[in-house]
Structure 1
Amino acid sequence: MAAWMTWRTAMDRALYGADGFYRRGERPAEHFRTSVHASPRFASALARLLAEVDEALGHPARIDLVDVGAGSGRLLANILATADAPLAARLAPVAVEIAPRPPDVPERVEWREDLPDGITGLVIANEWLDNVPLDVVEQTPDGPRTVLVDPASGAERPGPAPSPEDRDWLERWWPLREPGERAEIGRPRCAAWAAVVGRLVRGMAVAIDYSHARTARPVYGTLAGYRDGSTVPAVPDGSCDVTAHVALDACTAAGRDAGATATLLTTQRAALRGLGLSGARPAVEAAHHDPRGYLAALCAAGEDAELTDPTGLGGFGWLVQTVAIPVPAVLS
C-alpha cells in the first residue's frame, strides 16, 4: 500500500534520513559532473575571489572559508593548495556536510554538520540549495494543490491546498495560472540561504546552482534524479540524488532581508571570466619553442571552456551577497 507524503518530506527522508542518499556518504562526483571535479581551475578562480574578499576585509589575522554541502571536501583542499601561502596560513577552513569525513581531507579542515556562527570571510554553497527539500504544487481546476508522492514508486496524486505561507510565496515568485502547471516552492531554500547570510559578520556568501527567474519559470518544474552518471526518474526512495533548480531571485530577497548589504546575481560564465578563466586558446606558435607550456595552456583552455560553457556548467547562476564589504569589481 502506497505511503503518500509531500515531496518535501519524501526528499528529506530520501537524501538525509538515517539511510539517506547523502547520509550514507554518497559523493556527487560519482553521480553527476560538478565544477569542482571538472577542473581544479574552478578552485583557483575561487581562490582569487577569496583574495578579493581578504583585501576588502583588510587582511584579518583569521579569515573563515566555509564550504556548505562540502561533499568530498575536494573544493576546500584545492583552494588551500591554490591560495597564496600568506593567505592560506590565515585561513580557517570549515566543511559543512552531513556525510562522514573522508580520510583524505586535510587535517586543518573542520568537519561539521551545522553552519558556524559569526563568519568573517567567504562562504561557498556550490550545488547545495538544489538539494534542500521542497514541496511541489500543481494548479487544478479547483486551485493549487500540494502534490503527494509515493516514495517507493514516484507515483503522484493531488493533496491538500498549500499553506497560507506557501500561497504567498507562490504569488510572489511562481504564480500558477493554467491547470497542469507546476511549481516547486522554494521557501525552504530562501530560509536556508537567509541562515547563511545571517551568520556573516563581514564578508561574502556565494550560492552556485542551476537556477531560473520569475520571468521564465519552467511550466512543469525541474525535479530530476541522478545516479551513476545518468539522469533517472526522480523517485525519492534513497537510491538516487533528487534535485530541483533554484529560484535564486527569491533567495536574493531572502538574503537582503537577512542583512546582505550588496548583491550581484550573475552566471558562472560571467563570474569565472571575471576571475581570469577566459578559455582563450594559446597561440599555435608557442608549440614550436615551448611545446610543454603550449600543451598545458591548451589543456587549461579546454577546462576553462567546460566550466564556462553557457549550455552546461557556465549556465549556473551565481548569487553573490556581501555584508559590510562591496561586491568585488572583478565580478561586476
Structure 2
Amino acid sequence: MDTALYGEHGFYRRGERPAHHFRTSVHASDVFAEALLSLLAEVDAALGHPDPFDLVDMGAGGGELVSRLLSLAPAELAVRLRPHGVDLSPRPADLPGRVEWSDTPPDKITGLVVANEWLDNVPLDVAELTPDGPRLLLVDPATGEESLGGPVTGEDAAWLERWWPLRRPGDRAEVGRPRDEAWASVVSRLAAGTAVAIDYAHTSPADRPCHGTLTAYRDGRPAAPVPDGSCDITAHVALDACAAAGEAAGAAETTLTTQRAALMSLGVTGRRPPLDLARTDPRAYLTRLSRAGQEAELIDPHGLGGFGWLAQSVPPR
C-alpha cells in the first residue's frame, strides 16, 4: 500500500488530485470551508488571538481547503494566518504564494490542524484470522491475487487484541497502528490549539466490520484495491484508537463525534427557506434553497454527515 500510494511511481507521487478520483466534503461545497472558518475563529479566540496563527492542512491534495480558508478569513485574522499545506504530492501550481507546502507538518504548531480524509490513506497492513492465529494478507500488485503471509506479531498483534479482536477464521482487520502513530505525531506538535481528523471511520471494536473496509477509487468509481499505483487505496479509520494515541501524545481535551453533529454545532442545518420568500424575493429564495441543499449533503447521516470527527486540543501553557 505504501509503495502503491507513495513510492517512486505511486498514485500520489504522480501529482494526482483527489478531486479527479473521489468527492470529499471540500469538493462538495464551499459551505464546508465556511464551517471550518467558524471553528478556526473559535480556536483563535480560545488561544487569545496569537500572531502568527498556524493553519495546517494535512493531506492537502490540491490545496483547495487551505486556499479557500485563506480567502474567506476576515482581514484581521487573515493577516495573522500562517497557512501550511502538507502532502507528498508536488506543490500545486495554482496555490497562493503565502501558503507554505511541505511533506511534513511544522515542528511546532499554534493554531488549527485539519486532516480531512488524510488518515484513511496512511498505509497499513491487513490481517486475516486463521486457525493458527492472525496472519498478514499479501496482494500481488500485478494480478491482485491474494495469499496469506506470516503471522501478525509484536505491536501489531497487541493493537489487534486491544482495538480489533478477530473472532472467527476468515475475519479480517486493518491494523491501524500506523494511523495512531501518524495522528500522535500531529498532536505532539501542538504547542497550543486543536487538531481535527475527519474521515471514514468506525469508533469502537463492536463497530468494526468483520471483513474490513479496504477499497480503492479510480476516476470517480470504486475499484479493486490492487496495489499497482493506478488507484487510490483507502480503508476506514479506527478513530477511537487514534483518540487514545492523541491523548498519550498530550491532548487534554477530546471530542469524538460525527460530521453531522459537528457541522450542526457550527451552524450548518440544511434548513430550507420559508416558501413565502419564493413569492416576495424569488432570487433570494433560490439562493438560499441551493445553500440548503449543499448543507444537507454535508450533514446527511448516510453520506458525508456519517463521517467521524475527532477533535483534540492542547491548551496554552
TM-score range, shorter chain: over 0.9
Q: Is residue 302 of structure 2 the alignment partner of residue 290 of structure 1?
A: no
| Distance in 2 (alpha carbons) for counterparts of 1:52 and 1:274 | 12
Q: CA deviation at 1:50?
A: 0.1
Segments of 5+ residues of structure 1 without an aligned counterpart are 1-10, 326-332
Other-structure match for 1:4: none
Alignment of 1:180-219 (within 5 A): 180-212=170-202, 213-219=204-210
Segments of 5+ residues of structure 2 without an aligned counterpart are none
| Distance in 1 (alpha carbons) for counterparts of 2:174 and 2:143 | 20
Contact 1:48 1:83 in 2 (8 A): no
Other-structure match for 1:222: 213
| Distance in 2 (alpha carbons) for counterparts of 1:52 and 1:157 | 49
Other-structure match for 1:15: 5
Detail structure 1 runs of 4+ shifted over 3 Å in the superposition. none
Within the candidate set 92, 114, 118, 1:128 is matched to 118
| Distance in 1 (alpha carbons) for counterparts of 2:222 and 2:157 | 31
Partner deviation per Cα, 1:255-294 (whole Å, 9 max, x = no partner): 0000000000000000011111100000011122222211
SS in 2 for 1:146: strand
| Distance in 1 (alpha carbons) for counterparts of 2:145 and 2:117 | 26
Q: CA deviation at 1:77?
A: 1.1
Other-structure match for 2:290: 299
Partner deviation per Cα, 1:37-61 (whole Å, 9 max, x = no partner): 1001100000000000000000112
Other-structure match for 1:33: 23
Other-structure match for 2:229: 238
Contact 1:44 1:83 in 2 (8 A): no
Count of matched residue positions in the alignment of Structure 1 and Structure 2: 315
Other-structure match for 1:171: 161
| Distance in 1 (alpha carbons) for counterparts of 2:295 and 2:250 | 34
| Distance in 1 (alpha carbons) for counterparts of 2:105 and 2:142 | 32
Q: Is residue 28 of structure 2 the alignment partner of residue 74 of structure 1?
A: no
| Distance in 2 (alpha carbons) for counterparts of 1:320 and 1:152 | 39
Other-structure match for 2:84: 94
Q: Is residue 242 of structure 2 the alignment partner of residue 251 of structure 1?
A: yes
AA in 2 matched with 1:138: E
Percent of residue pairs bearing the same amino acid type: 65
SS in 1 for 2:142: coil
| Distance in 2 (alpha carbons) for counterparts of 1:266 and 1:238 | 33
Q: RMSD of aligned C-alpha atoms?
A: 0.8
